[in-house]
Amino acid sequence: MTLAEAQLARQKKIQSSLIGLARDTRFADFIETVRECQLSAVDNLTDGAVVGNERATTACIGEIAAYRAMIRTYDEAVALAAQQAEGN
């Protein structure tokens, strides 16, 4: 199995696991908190202390990317769950 195939397999496994969670309001609340954290991290990018420090800027960008990946994976799982519900 190539690295790309392994990564795709892990992504599908995560999405499959999230389908059940997508219907859970507690997990939806968690994702909403992640969305708020992402907005806060974006706000931090305009902070003078962060802008003036390359290391802090890089860390902040990485934090935002991590939040975006979590949110995107969740949103894709919700869409997939909706499709499956329509098909049943």
Distance CA 33, CA 13 (A): 23
Give how many domains the chain has, as a whole number.
1
Question: Are 64 and 42 spatial neighbours (Cβ–Cβ below 8 Å)?
Answer: yes
Nearest C-alpha neighbor of 75 from the set 38, 31, 26, 13? 31
- Residue 32: pLDDT band (50, 70, 90) is very high
Residue 60 domain boundaries: 24-87
Does any domain span residue 45? Answer: yes
What integer pLDDT is reported at residue 78 of this predicted model?
83
Does any domain span residue 13? Answer: no
Q: What is the pLDDT of residues 39-87, one digit of tens each?
A: 999 998 888 878 889 999 999 999 999 999 999 988 888 888 888 778 7
Look at the block and give the residue holding tokens 């098909």: 87
What integer pLDDT is reported at residue 1 of this predicted model?
80
Does any domain span residue 11? Answer: no
Does any domain span residue 17? Answer: no
Does any domain span residue 1? Answer: no
